[in-house]
Structure 1
Amino acid sequence: MSATPEYNPRQFWKSRDFHNSTRLYLQHWLVQKTLGYVLHPSIPQDRPLRVADLGCGNGAWIIEASHELPSSAELTGFDIAAHNFPAPEFLPANVKFSVLDVMTGECPSDLTGTFDIVHIRFFNGIVLNNEAQPLIATVTRLLKPGGWLQWEEMDPSTLATITPRPDINTTYCQNLMGLILNIGTMVGTKFDWLKSFENELDTFNNVQVKHVPLPPAYHKAWTENYLILCEEIAERMPPAKKAAPNVPITREGYLDMFEKVLEEVKNGVALNSKDLIAVLARY
């Protein structure tokens, strides 16, 4: 048996169920409340648009975007698996979904250069070893010349505990954050690329990177969104230390710590990244 459980981000996100889908709705709502928009207000909407949403999940963003755009717009959500896609019979007439692995750097020839807007959100757990270029290559293949990229991210390396009062204990929340980042390092999730969007997007024009602070009123909601994801990580933990000796904690130990984290959160502790990174660029 391998010393550490292998992390394949494509397989991991393929397997997410309705719990994760529910979290994605909460996450979408939080991003919208934090930014104040669904589609960036600088993007012109005065002509028919073709819009792609990469890693769309359950389509929370693209369905809402369809309500803001004229009915002449055509919107397509792409994801590596279809299990979270809504039934097509329930969708607006101008919205559809399709399976596509956007981390290959390729796209079908019939999609090349056909989109006016590409939207991306939260690939920080999918990009390994700071290698964001395959994803960006897919974006450039999809976009028309002069097309727009709208991208939202968070930098997990900025995770911190926030307390309403200095007397509240944060020990287990801090331990959880350290553990998650440690495991991330072991499996190859690195976040340097999130600090250099201008360099990563060097084939784009007018790259705008804005760091938007998280409103304190939504600290609790952002924390709960994060905790749902942390709870899912438990299934990746070995049930016995001897099964994977280099893994820093067993499943039982992780769940025990997680219960103590929940107690601290009940006392008002928040677990949040520093800010939301909003990127806008033109190809």
Structure 2
Amino acid sequence: MSLRKDLKNRFKEREPLKERTTFKIGGEARYWFEPRDRKELALFLKDNTLKLPLFVIGAGSNLLVKEGLINKIFIHLSAPDFTKIEARKDKVIVGAGVKIGRLLSVLSSRNIGGYEFLAGVPGTVGGALAMNAGTYMEIKDIVSEVDVLDRSGRGLKLQRSDIDFSYRNSSLRPYIIVRAILKLRTDNKARVQKRIKDILIKRLMAQDWQHPSAGSFFRNPDLIHPAGFLIDQCRLKGLMAGGAQVSEKHANFIINIKDAKSADVIKLMEIIKKKVYNQFKIRLTSEVKIVS
């Protein structure tokens, strides 16, 4: 591919992935690409002759990467063109690579509210959109428009009505999300920051963020049967497999306590699914994507 010659250190081979994920587990990416801007990304996609699967990785949460060489092209949107936050009169324009924590910090300092439900989400705006993240509300509730590229590099502007959102899923997944236009609501800075702090404290008290993990591991089957409650009722807190453990603080967290391998996590996942089904006849679905 002729374009690759011009990418210098933005296009790497055999990039270690372990430290690129919140689970701190994983092998190496066959290729790792950090485009300079949207134009370079589009050119890369159009000129791509490697014929390998593409995988967009943000903050590395909600992922379990297997060991060994992962034969994919990992795309990481970390350049300034993908991490801008711009507040205008009636909208917020935000790059897909912006981390959720930074988004909340910037907007609250500018007296903008309505985003507090994202507090504690450990990912980027792009990832939050793809999986329709949120607590109490979902990101679909504040989206106006999303700019994406398809896998051939063609740009599309998708209006909210063009996008199908559901619980922890959206029709954006096949695309590479570049930026989003979100709704703007003015509010009092102190009140917004107080709400963010309260949500963060509640999450920190209830969830296990002291150890590496992918975040909540299973989707909640419904409001009546949260996954954590079902797993807890099966008395699986503290269960270990190798270096992985079902958190004793929150049963829907599988944590890496001592150099866990992906196989350790997968073993716990299968035990949990089997135990919950045997006791409640409910099939749990993983919220975490296994990358191999």
TM-score (norm 1): 0.28
Higher relative contact order (CA 8 A, sep 6+): 1
Q: Which has the higher helix share?
A: 1
